[in-house]
Amino acid sequence: MKVILDAGQIDRTIEHLADEIGEQTSSCNESAIIGVRSRGEILAERLAERLSRKLGRQVPCGTLDITLYRDDLNAPHGDSQPLVRTTEIGFDIDNKTIILVDDVLYTGRSTRAAMDALMDLGRPRAIRLAVLVERAGRELPIQADYAGYKADVGPEQSVQVNFVESDGKDEVIVT
Amino acid sequence: MSRILDMMDRHTSGRTGKRHNTTMAIIHRSGKPFKWQRKHLLGLRDLSVEEIEYILDTATGFEQISTRSVKKAPPLRGKVVVNLFFEDSTRTRASFSLAASRLSADVMEFTQKASSVSKGETLLDTARNLEAMGIDIVVIRHSAAGVPMLLSRNIKACVVNAGDGYCEHPTQGLLDAYTIRQAKGSLEGLKIAIVGDIAHSRVARSDMWAMTKLGAEVTFVGPPTLMPAEVGRLPVKVSYSLDKVIEEVDVVNMLRIQFERIGGNLFPSIREYSRYFGLTVERVKRAKPNILVMHPGPINRGLEIESEVADGPNSVILQQVTNGLAVRMAVLFLVNQAAAETPV
């Protein structure tokens, strides 16, 4: 196990992401942040808070559960059976630029599921992808618009993002 | 309570103040993550508390599909669900059909009158023929208790019981528990009266299993002639007077008088039944102000329940119907998940 980002580095990375997103969305009023359950939800809330401060207006923030849109539902899951939870988006996504937020971008399959789930909720003007950690291994033609940290890890390794809210500690580890 | 020990970590979001679930798995008391493993839902009697709560928790995630503009999600895409109904039904069949459609399954409707069953085909032959067409889930209703179980032992598809004889109607029990949980937060410690024709009611039995397992105290209320013979062995109290229990209960579930099942001699007259066991405005006035009034439908207005009560502020009768859809989506989703785990 190796820590690739500690709490301070995660904080600066999120600040950086918020700066970058802020620069490109300040011109358009209609943007919103939507996090993919479960770690993306926490990241989205932190991003929305900083972005709201930078832009001087409240940026709406919601949570998306993508379980029903996963492409591996009909495959055996071992011990990690997917649990269906709620999507909580308290605003209309039509014609908004949606910043889709997830903790790690790896195969791109979660992102595909998230985009399909979003399309069933309305017709956003655009969807942008923001992730804390990006790693190699894409299986679909998907890339991040905003990537906080590019991790150089092999296919045999896994990247785990921990947050205080869910895991008691902010850190990104490779195992 | 030694139930689900870790019911998912929760944290309070500083931004909105609302509570979220943030971790992935429910941990069973054995220490392993809870996993749904049943590819059939035959009844609630054999389900554990964890299993019932897992279905209800899953149903919460399906509620919103029915409220958004695209009322469809893809988890059963390419699957075939057969509604095999050997008894009349409007609400349950429509609810299962819509639930399956909303999960993107193909739905085949099958009724006794318009089928080869009327030409003498046996149940298992009918089922095997349907199976030969490549079906994944059978939703079955039959007037004989045990038919869903018989079917589950003879075909490879998932079987969901939509009512068998006077035995069980598990999705009704689940949606009733779901509706109470939604309104009251929990069933733990609640007093619930189930009133009417208990003997001929599979709803009463499934309700009893779900509600008592979730910690409620259930009382069967009705005339002695409409109590099941085995009532002494069931985990319920019995009362022959609605007036005696109406003031203390938190929930009252009024069963329909089933004219099609009852011979003429189980109670003297419908008027007399209605006077002693009908839920009237006057009785509701004597009850707790927040009493929850339920009915599995279809209602006989003015008989077991007065119209003003059925349409009144304490009534959740239509909410039950709405919740039924979410619960049935959850059940179809979960049995299909279990089938995916055990490929045949």
Residue B322 sits at the chain A interface (C-beta within 8 Å): no
3-state secondary structure of A2: strand
Q: Do B343 and A76 touch (CB under 8 A)?
A: yes
Mutation target vs A (from B4, B22, B158; most A CBs, 10 A cutoff) = B22
pLDDT in tens, B269-309: 888 899 999 999 999 999 999 999 999 999 999 999 999 99
- Taking the CA of residue A121 and the nearest CA in chain B, the distance in Å comes to 7
Chain A residues in contact with B74 (beta carbon < 8 A): 68-69, 116
Answer yes or no: do B175 and B309 share one domain. Answer: yes
Answer yes or no: do B130 and B232 share one domain. Answer: no
Instruction: Name the β-bridge partners of A147.
Output: A131
Q: Is B28 part of a structural domain of the chain?
A: yes
Q: Is B342 part of a structural domain of the chain?
A: no
pLDDT (0 to 100) of residue B301: 93
CA distance A128 to A24: 11
Residue B247 sits at the chain A interface (C-beta within 8 Å): no
B120 pLDDT higher than 90: no
pLDDT in tens, B224-260: 999 999 999 999 999 999 999 999 999 999 999 887 7
Residue-range definition of the domain harbouring residue B7: 1-35
Mutation target vs A (from B4, B15, B37, B60; most A CBs, 10 A cutoff) = B15
> What domains are defined for chain A?
2-23+30-71+84-174 (3.40.50.2020)
Q: What is the CATH number of the domain that holds B50?
A: 3.40.50.1370
Chain A residues in contact with B51 (beta carbon < 8 A): none
Q: Which residues of B251-274 are buried (b: 16+ CB within 10 A; e: fewer)?
A: bbbbbbbeeeeeeeebbeeeeebb
Residue A168 sits at the chain B interface (C-beta within 8 Å): no
Mutation target vs B (from A46, A87, A166; most B CBs, 10 A cutoff) = A166
A–B interface: beta-carbon pairs under 8 A = 91
- Taking the CA of residue A170 and the nearest CA in chain B, the distance in Å comes to 14
For the ranges A56-65, B14-23, B80-89, the lowest mean pLDDT is seen at B14-23
CA distance B242 to B263: 23
Answer yes or no: do B181 and B263 share one domain. Answer: yes
Token pair listed for A31: 């943007």
CA distance B217 to B245: 12
CA distance A14 to A18: 6
What would the mean pLDDT of B99-128 be, rounded to a whole number? Answer: 84
pLDDT (0 to 100) of residue B9: 32
Answer yes or no: do B258 and B278 share one domain. Answer: yes
Residue B32 sits at the chain A interface (C-beta within 8 Å): yes
The reported pTM is 0.90
- Taking the CA of residue A142 and the nearest CA in chain B, the distance in Å comes to 21
Counting the structural domains of chain B, the total is 3
B19 pLDDT higher than 70: no
CA distance B294 to A91: 33
